[in-house]
Amino acid sequence: MNADYVIVGAGSAGCAMAYRLSEAGKSVLVIEHGGTDAGPFIQMPGALSYPMNMSRYDWGYKSEPEPQLNNRELVTPRGKVIGGSSSINGMVYVRGHAGDYKYWSESGAHGWDFADVLPYFKRMETWNDRGHGGDPDWRGSDGPLHVTRGPRDNPLHEAFVSAGEQAGYPVTQDYNGEQQEGFGPMEMTVYKGQRWSAANAYLKPALARDNCDLIRAFARKVVIENGRAVGVEVERGGKIEVISANAEVILAASSINSPKLLMLSGIGPAGHLAEHGIDVIVDRPGVGKNLQDHLEFYFQFAAKQPITLFKYWNLLGKAWVGAQWLFTKTGLGASNQFESAAFIRSDKGVDYPDIQYHFLPLAVRYDGKVAAEGHGFQAHVGPMRSDSRGEITLKSADPKDAPRIFFNYMSTEKDWTDFRKCVRLTREIFAQDAMQSHVKHEIQPGDALQSDNEIDGFLREHLESAYHPCGTCKMGAVDDPMSVVDPECRVIGIDGLRVADSSIFPRITNGNLNGPSIMTGEKAADHILGRRLAPSNAEPWYNPNWQTSQR
């Protein structure tokens, strides 16, 4: 069992690399612990709350008790299936803001500025805007990843965007184009009514080539000889074996499992590895550190009119939606229902958006529990750039043990200030005329909660992860002790080993992470192949009044 390139993890970045490396004629072997993505729960966009809560598709991780959130342990879903988390996520597609990549570049990830990554975002996508306007010059037309928009035929979508406009915010036709800031249509990785995961877009076409294979096995550690990665030790069918890499080993196992594998392989903070009796091969204190995520809560409103998706929230309704999707790949099942979005700035002096909204014409939780009021709708809201940092550490030297995941959420005063702003700015938006014929009352947080203390109490109990963990194998300058990989994604101090997934993000991007994770795989493949696309000279839009006004 050997190949030129052995990739650990068939997730968003791993699938993209398998496609590009095999396309270039290299032999590729992908190791994935999870199994097939066949079946309606994964492939039907409208069923997105199911796979995330199914143990066959999810690693089942939980955070440590979070001290600022009443010591709650938050679920931390990661995809254990081909396609990885792109097979169990909400399918929302956001590139991130140009300012995110400017930060990456300035913090030591040279060659990852917006001008450098935009050509990869364009290469990877086939964009279909359904005639809604938008920025064709900024978008891709023939990539493997299909990006589309929902029909937006529920009147609540237009009401949400109009309310934002009435509150003084810009409207944007394409937040993935020149202008992210504002209210407008949301985009999703759906094609012909089906979830367009990294497995469907990249892995399955790659596996159709003779030089790309997938094996189902549990990766235990990277095998390192004389300072070089030469293979991966796996467990398969109860036996332990080594899969050899002729050229390189590439970890794309997620921001949770990539640092875990590095540490089990002897690469990480020397003191921590010694605690678990692991021989230190390279002392990299940054492995597992810099853990970031997006937190959010659902702002829920009861609806005056029975026009929400609640009318389908019964056995008959779900059966109808499911049957229509199964036979025609159309109808409500063909959309994730996140069809409107907004990116706004929380204050003057903030140069690009730092609050994101997902709007949903139904009041429901991720676990599928619907609001007691029945007809309702909600906006998921949260700040994009928290300063809180957590860590991934080992519980033991046994590869079978889940790592210790500590996000350290809400550990700065700014986190609390930002979330209070989210509450007050959202209330203002939903108080606009456009929403008057729709808002009956506020379900959650509830009008009674007005003071900082009351809002903080609600947040402690109701904040949830948006499931965007990243940053634990930070990409940066070689002389930065906290960097884990260099700007070519090579693990510093070891030959023949790279990491390419959301763990290498120096800082979390604005929005959902599937798009940037796939872009990371696309760009890493070019670094591996010794080539790169020419930088773009497109100029992204920043609000000209950002220094003096919040909107």
On whether the CB atoms of residues 411 and 68 are closer than 8 A, the answer is yes
CA distance 183 to 86: 25
CA distance 139 to 142: 10
Q: Where are the alpha helices (DSSP H) in 180-314?
A: 198, 204-207, 254-264, 270-275
The amino acid occupying position 48 is: L
The residue behind tokens 């994730």 is: 336
89 is in an annotated binding site: yes
92 is in an annotated binding site: yes
- Strand-strand pairing, 28-32 and 2-8: parallel
Catalytic residue among 97, 380, 438, 468: 468
Q: Which residues make beta-bridge pairs with 282?
A: 267
The closest alpha carbon to 271, from 253, 289, 250, belongs to 289
Structure token pair of residue 487: 């700007």
Residues making up the chain, counted from first to last: 551
CA distance 305 to 436: 11
Structure token pair of residue 386: 């928290």
81 is in an annotated binding site: yes
Helices 413-430 & 452-462, crossing angle to 10 degrees?
100
Helices 114-124 & 98-106, crossing angle to 10 degrees?
130
Helices 514-528 & 114-124, crossing angle to 10 degrees?
100
On whether the CB atoms of residues 105 and 548 are closer than 8 A, the answer is no
> From residue 28, how far is each of 17, 20, 210, 220 by CA, in Å?
9, 10, 10, 19
CA distance 31 to 8: 5
CA distance 492 to 480: 10
543 is in an annotated binding site: no
Residues 6+ apart with CB under 8 A from 522: 16, 17, 20, 120, 123, 124
**Within 13 Å and on the Cβ side, how many CA atoms surround 322?**
14
Q: Which residues make beta-bridge pairs with 273?
A: none
CA distance 522 to 18: 9
CA distance 216 to 230: 19
161 is in an annotated binding site: no
> Is residue 468 flagged as an active site residue?
yes
> From residue 528, how far is each of 10, 84, 222, 522 by CA, in Å?
18, 22, 18, 10
CA distance 350 to 489: 30
> From residue 418, how far is each of 273, 387, 410, 412 by CA, in Å?
36, 11, 10, 10
**Binding-site annotation: residue ranges:** 81, 89-92
**Binding-site annotation: residue ranges for FAD:** 81, 89-92
Residues with catalytic function = 468
